[in-house]
Structure 1
């Protein structure tokens, strides 16, 4: 009886590990960037309020952008509620159901909402030409829900969910992310696709 149980357990283990047989990893530094339209609009408002020199000095001191260790870090010092960043991950027709894992860090978040919403951008034929359309997945996460708010120092965080590309070519996984409104740094390190 023990040999049968062991054989069944071995088969189940093999089946569960082969459900996702391939992993592709993308860095935040290469695949995430701030929305430049929102940033430019916020900077113009700051210039109008504080003057050129003061606004440009504040902009130069911000902790926003790609880092040498592969992260995209986001901690704007002005217009935090209107600025955000996007991460774009290319998908192809080899990918059906897949598991998405976002690895990142948070530091010094306040208890307010700010997170990532997940969408897919697909090329479709509208009858006359091919156009890109964005579809919400209804999934996403808040940074505070995956962080320990009692810990103000830098901490590693992860978010995992399952999605389906339906084996479509010319598809892009899109994350639209903000940080919490008052204070706090968020960073995206690696984005993994397991399929």
Structure 2
């Protein structure tokens, strides 16, 4: 597990980038939301880590420009590709603001599509305000039925370059907070999808 870009790249390895939600931007890895409680970034990283792949999870500073950070991630993917890592062995994943950044990254990787996972990522911003964003490669959406960020059907339908689309809903009653902690309802299936696609 890495919190910065790894110095040594294994061309036969698999790599997963996880981008956290907006509340974690800053210096506190476990901030508390009035409604949804603790966002446990360290526990999420620990749960997503796996011997089958290398997890890279940056802790973004406060005030991060999502467009600039998405370009940074796209550049990091490019570094992996230049080191010989195949595109289908790279997965980008994010929740909420991190999902928006992940979608922007996928959009920027039109020529080299990787696997993309959006967790509660298809709310108003992706679906309406930024209607020019399109996904590429294998695409997974996971959303909570009690949350306002629902299905990614609209994003899928306008993305002609996706190679596959999977979408699952979970129903925990925890709203957006369902992804604040590494609960088995989403962590297990997401990790399985990563292993199957990469």
Confirm or deny a common fold (TM above 0.5).
no
* Interval containing the TM-score (normalised by the shorter chain): under 0.3
Larger radius of gyration: 1
Q: Between Structure 1 and Structure 2, which shows a larger proportion of helix residues?
A: 2
Q: Between Structure 1 and Structure 2, which shows a larger proportion of strand residues?
A: 1
Q: TM-score, normalised by structure 1?
A: 0.27
Q: TM-score, normalised by structure 2?
A: 0.26
Higher relative contact order (CA 8 A, sep 6+): 1
